[in-house]
A and B are shown apart, each in its own frame.
Chain A
Amino acid sequence: MKEIERFHEAADRLADTAARIRQTGRKIIGYPCSYAPEELIHAAGCHPMRLFSSGHGIVQAENHLQSYCCSLVRGMLEDSLAGRLDFLDGTVFPHTCDSMQRLSDIWRMNGTYAFFADLVLPVKLDTPGSAAYIKSVLARCKADLETALGISITDADLAASIALFNRIRTHLAFIHDVYSRHPGQIRGSDMAALVKGTMIMDRNDAAALLADLAASLQDLPLPDTPVKRVVLAGSVCDTPDLFDSVEAAGGAVVGDDLCNGQRWFDTLVAEDKPPLTALADRYRQRAICPAKHAGLTTRADHLVSLVDKTRADGVLFVMLKFCDPHAFDYPYLKETLDAKKIKSMVLEIDDGHLNQGQFSTRIETFIHML
C-alpha cells in the first residue's frame, strides 16, 4: 500500500516534510503532547506538528535536564538544542506532567523560535469550574496566536479546521477498526506510522491519503490467521520494532491506550456547538492521560473496556523509564486486570533503545502464555 509509505516518510524525513509544509505558506508550530489545541493552531493558518524524540544521543540537554528525566522530554530538548527542529516557528506546551512542565520553562528560557505559548490546562477535568477554565485557556491561546500573527481567527476558520481534524479522526478510527478486527491486514508498525505520520504531515494531505487508504481496504481479502490479541498501554510507544516482535511471536496489537495512539484520535469534536465550547468538551470526553484526573477509576475502566471491545487476550504495558504518572497508575491497573483474569506484562523502555534480543524473548514468552 503505497499510501502507507508516505506516512513513514513524513516522520523519517522530518526536515523534508517541514520544507514542503512551509511551501504551502503555513508556519510550523510544534507541540509535545496529545492535549495540544491542534484545531486552533491550524485555524490560525499554521501547521501543528507533534514532536517526538529522534533518539539521537543526549549531549546538550545534559546541561539542562538530569539523567532521571524521561527520555521523551530529554530527547525533545536535545533535538531542539542540536538544531534539528530549526524549521519550527514556535511551540505550544499543554500542561501535563511535572517533567513536561519544566521542559516548557527550559524551552522558553533557551528558546530560539518566534512563537511560544503554554496551554495551562486544568488537572481535574470533571468539574463545571474546570470546564469553564478549559474554555478560557483555549480563548487565551487563540488570542495569543492572533496577536503574534496579526490575524483574527473566525468561527468559520475554526469550524473548517474542526471538520478537517474530525475527518482525519474518522478515517483513522475506521482504518484502526479494520486493523483491529482483522489482524494481519495492516502491520502494527504500519498502523503506528499512520498515526505518527498524520501528526506530522500536512493535514490536508493526511486526510486525502487516509481517505484513499480507507477506501482501498474495503477491497482487500481478509486474512484469517488466528493470533493472540494484545492491547498496548502506556505513555508513548515510538518503537516500531515492538509491533514486529509481537507479530513474530504470533500476536497482534489490536488496541491501545497510548498518547500517540487511540487516545489521540478517538472522540470527535462536536460540529454543532460554538467551536471553543466544542473543543473544550473534547478535552473532557476523550480518554485521559494519567497526568489528568476525571475520577478514581476512569483509567482502569477505560482499559478494561478496551480489552473487552477488542476481545484482547492480554495487555502489554510499555512504560517509559522515569515517567511518573504512568508508573503511579501501573500497580492499580495491573491489579484491576488481575482481578478480571486479564493477563498482562510490563516492559520498561529507556531512551527508546531496547535490548532487542531480550525484549523479543520476553514478548514471545508473554504471547505464548496467553
Chain B
Amino acid sequence: MPDKPVDPTKIKAARKMRDLMTTYYLEALSAAQNHRQVAWITSGGPVEPLVAMDIIPVYPENHGAMIGSAKMGEDLCAKAEDMGYSPDLCSYARSDIACAVVKGGPIGGLPKPDMLICCNNICGTVLKWYEIQARFFQVPLFIFDTPVCHTGYSPEIAAYVKTQVHEYIAFLEQVTGKKLDPDKMNHVGRLSYEGQRLWQQVLNTTAHKPSPMSAFDAFFFLALIVTLRGTQTAVDFYKELIHELEERISDGISVVPDETYRLLWDNLPVWHRLKWLSDRFSAHQACLVADTYTSAWCGALKYIDENNFLDSMAQAYTRIYLNIGVDQMAQEVLEMIRFYDVNGLVMHSNRSCKPYSFGQMDIMRIVREKTGIPVLMIEADMVDPRSFSESQIETRIDAFMEIVKHKAGRS
C-alpha cells in the first residue's frame, strides 16, 4: 500500500509515539504472563521507585484520557452512575471505576493491579477513587500523602513527606519481596530528571513565533512523560522530538498556518473535542501555544537533585502546580503569559476537576489586572461530553477572538 502523502504541518514523531504507547500497553496487558507486577499509580505520583523495582506502572488517568479521546466517556460515565456514583464526580474516576467492572474502553480495560499507589498531590478525588479500587481488586494501597502547600513548603510538611519516602520503599519491598537496588534507583532518578528537563525543552519550543507545535500536540506527547518517566525510552524519544521541532523552527513550519494570535490554555484538555477546538481556534489564525496542564510534569524540576533523587523527591512531588495556593498558581500563569508572549487566555472550567477549576475566577481577575489580555472561560468536562454545547461554545470563541483581534489592533 502506498504511503499517504505527508502533511508538512503534521509532526512526524507522532507515529513513533503511538508505537511506543502501543508497546507500553501491550507489555502492561501481558504483565501477568511475564510474571511481572503491575502498580496503578496517579498521574502525579512518584513512579521512579516502581521503575527501579521493575514494576510496571499503569495510569488510570492516562487511560481516562484515552477513553475521552475515543469518545467512550459518555457510556462509561453513565455506567458509573448506574452503579450509584453521582454525575458530579470526576469523569476520570467515574469511567475508570465503571471500566474495571465492565472491562470496556478502547483497550478493554487496564491490567489488573497488584498494588495501588495514590499520591494526593493533584486532588482528594484520587484518594476516594483508589480506596474504591483497593476494595474492588483486594490489593494493597499505598497513600503518598503530600499536604497542600497553600503558602509554602513548611518544615512540618517536609519532614512528613520525607518519612513517607521510606514508608513507600518499605511498602514496595514488602509487596514485591525484593530489595530496592540503590544504584538502579539513582539511574532511574537521573533518567526521570533528564526526561523532565527534555519535556520542558519540548514545551519551550513553542515560545518561538510561529510556534512549531500547539498545546493540542503537547496534550498528545505528554503521555510519555507521564507513563514512561524514568526510562531511557522517554529520554530518547523527547530528544528526537526536540530535534524535529527545532528543524520545524528553522524551516519556518508552523502548526497553525499564518499564526497571528497566540493563546494560553488553562486546565485539562477537553479530550472529546480536541480536534474540534483546535479547528475553531485555527480558523481565527490562533494557536494555543502553551497550557498550564502539560507543564505540570516538569514544573518541579527546580526541586529535584538529579544525583540524589530519592531525597529530593519529597519536595518535588509535593510542590507541583495543583498542590500550591491559587495566588501562586496565578503567578505561574503570569510567567507563562510573558514567556510565551500570548494575546489571550482560555480557561477550561472543568466540572470534573474541582481543585483545578475553583480559584480560576480569581486567577482570571489577576491576569486581567496585571496584563490586560482577554480571558475566555468555557465550561466543559474533560471526558464526559454530555454537558458540552458546541454551538454555545463556538459563539463564545468567536466573540472572544474578536476581542483578541481588536486588542492586537488587527481587526
| B88 in contact with A68 (CB, 8 Å) | yes
Nearest CB of B to A286, in Å: 18
Contacts of A12 in B (CB 8 A): none
Contacts of A330 in B (CB 8 A): 84-86
| B358 in contact with A99 (CB, 8 Å) | yes
| B160 in contact with A327 (CB, 8 Å) | no
Nearest CB of A to B325, in Å: 5
| A328 in contact with B361 (CB, 8 Å) | no
Complex CA gap A335/B141 in Å reads: 21
Complex CA gap A83/B358 in Å reads: 22
Name the interface residues of A128-159: CB closer than 8 Å to any CB of B. 129-130, 132-133, 136-137, 140
Known: A106-B326, A136-B160, A296-B134. A324 touches B358 (CB 8 A): no
| B88 in contact with A290 (CB, 8 Å) | no
| B120 in contact with A66 (CB, 8 Å) | no
Complex CA gap A334/B132 in Å reads: 13
| B157 in contact with A129 (CB, 8 Å) | no
Known: A120-B147, A122-B147, A123-B145. A106 touches B358 (CB 8 A): yes
Contacts of B239 in A (CB 8 A): none
Interchain Cβ contacts within 8 Å, total number? 145
Name the interface residues of B142-176: CB closer than 8 Å to any CB of A. 143, 145, 147-148, 150-151, 154, 156-157, 159-160, 163-164, 167
Binds A, one of B5-13, B67-75, B246-254, B349-357: B349-357
> Does A368 sit at the interface, judged by CB under 8 A?
no
Interface size class of A (residues with CB under 8 A): 35 or more
Known: A99-B354, A136-B156, A332-B135. A324 touches B359 (CB 8 A): no
Contacts of B107 in A (CB 8 A): none
| A122 in contact with B326 (CB, 8 Å) | no
Query: Beta-carbon contacts of A61-98 to B below 8 Å, as 1s and 0s?
Result: 00111101100000000000000000000000001111
Complex CA gap A72/B6 in Å reads: 55
Complex CA gap A98/B121 in Å reads: 11
| A332 in contact with B132 (CB, 8 Å) | yes
Complex CA gap A330/B326 in Å reads: 30
| A interface SS class | helix
Nearest CB of B to A86, in Å: 21
Contacts of A296 in B (CB 8 A): 131, 134-135, 141
Known: A64-B361, A104-B150. A328 touches B128 (CB 8 A): yes
| B135 in contact with A98 (CB, 8 Å) | no
> Does B241 sit at the interface, judged by CB under 8 A?
no
Most buried by A among B131, B134, B164, B167: B131
| A129 in contact with B163 (CB, 8 Å) | yes
Complex CA gap A331/B128 in Å reads: 12
> Does A108 sit at the interface, judged by CB under 8 A?
yes
Complex CA gap A73/B129 in Å reads: 22
| A98 in contact with B160 (CB, 8 Å) | no
| B355 in contact with A102 (CB, 8 Å) | yes
| B124 in contact with A325 (CB, 8 Å) | yes
Complex CA gap A304/B97 in Å reads: 24
Interface size class of B (residues with CB under 8 A): 35 or more
Q: Taking CB as reference atom, which chain A residue is nearest B351?
A: A68
Contacts of B124 in A (CB 8 A): 96-98, 101, 123, 291, 324-325
| B358 in contact with A322 (CB, 8 Å) | no
| A65 in contact with B157 (CB, 8 Å) | no
| A69 in contact with B362 (CB, 8 Å) | no
> Does B123 sit at the interface, judged by CB under 8 A?
yes
Nearest CB of A to B214, in Å: 26
| A105 in contact with B85 (CB, 8 Å) | no
| A102 in contact with B359 (CB, 8 Å) | yes
Known pairs A64-B361, A109-B326, A324-B125; list 8 more (Cβ under 8 Å): A68-B88, A69-B358, A99-B358, A102-B355, A118-B151, A123-B127, A328-B125, A332-B135
Contacts of A118 in B (CB 8 A): 150-151
Name the interface residues of B352-373: CB closer than 8 Å to any CB of A. 354-355, 357-362, 365
Name the interface residues of A189-240: CB closer than 8 Å to any CB of B. none
> Does A110 sit at the interface, judged by CB under 8 A?
yes
Known: A66-B361, A123-B124, A296-B135. A324 touches B354 (CB 8 A): yes
Contacts of A98 in B (CB 8 A): 123-125, 354-355, 358
| B128 in contact with A124 (CB, 8 Å) | no
Nearest CB of B to A254, in Å: 25
> Does B327 sit at the interface, judged by CB under 8 A?
yes
Which of A124, A319, A321 is close to B143, meaning CB atoms less than 8 Å apart? A124
Which of A106, A133, A331 is close to B359, meaning CB atoms less than 8 Å apart? A106
Contacts of A121 in B (CB 8 A): 147
Complex CA gap A330/B86 in Å reads: 9
Nearest CB of A to B106, in Å: 25
Which of B129, B143, B159 is close to A123, meaning CB atoms less than 8 Å apart? B143
> Does A329 sit at the interface, judged by CB under 8 A?
yes
| B326 in contact with A327 (CB, 8 Å) | no
| A327 in contact with B89 (CB, 8 Å) | yes
Complex CA gap A133/B147 in Å reads: 10
> Does B83 sit at the interface, judged by CB under 8 A?
yes
| A328 in contact with B129 (CB, 8 Å) | yes
Contacts of B325 in A (CB 8 A): 105, 108
4 interchain residue pairs of minimum CB distance = A331-B84, A328-B128, A102-B358, A105-B326
| A102 in contact with B326 (CB, 8 Å) | yes
Contacts of B90 in A (CB 8 A): 324
> Does B379 sit at the interface, judged by CB under 8 A?
yes
Complex CA gap A334/B331 in Å reads: 44
Contacts of A68 in B (CB 8 A): 88, 351, 354, 357
> Does A127 sit at the interface, judged by CB under 8 A?
yes
Contacts of B129 in A (CB 8 A): 328
Contacts of B151 in A (CB 8 A): 108, 118
| B143 in contact with A322 (CB, 8 Å) | no
Q: Taking CB as reference atom, which chain B residue is nearest A62?
A: B361
| A327 in contact with B86 (CB, 8 Å) | yes
Complex CA gap A293/B63 in Å reads: 25
| B357 in contact with A66 (CB, 8 Å) | yes
Query: Beta-carbon contacts of B171-190 to A below 8 Å, as 1s and 0s?
Result: 00000000000000000000
Nearest CB of B to A205, in Å: 34
A selection of 25 A-B contacts at a CB cut-off of 8 Å is A64-B362, A98-B354, A98-B358, A101-B148, A101-B355, A102-B355, A102-B358, A103-B358, A106-B358, A118-B150, A120-B148, A120-B154, A120-B156, A121-B147, A129-B160, A133-B147, A136-B159, A296-B134, A297-B135, A325-B128, A327-B88, A328-B93, A328-B125, A332-B135, A334-B84
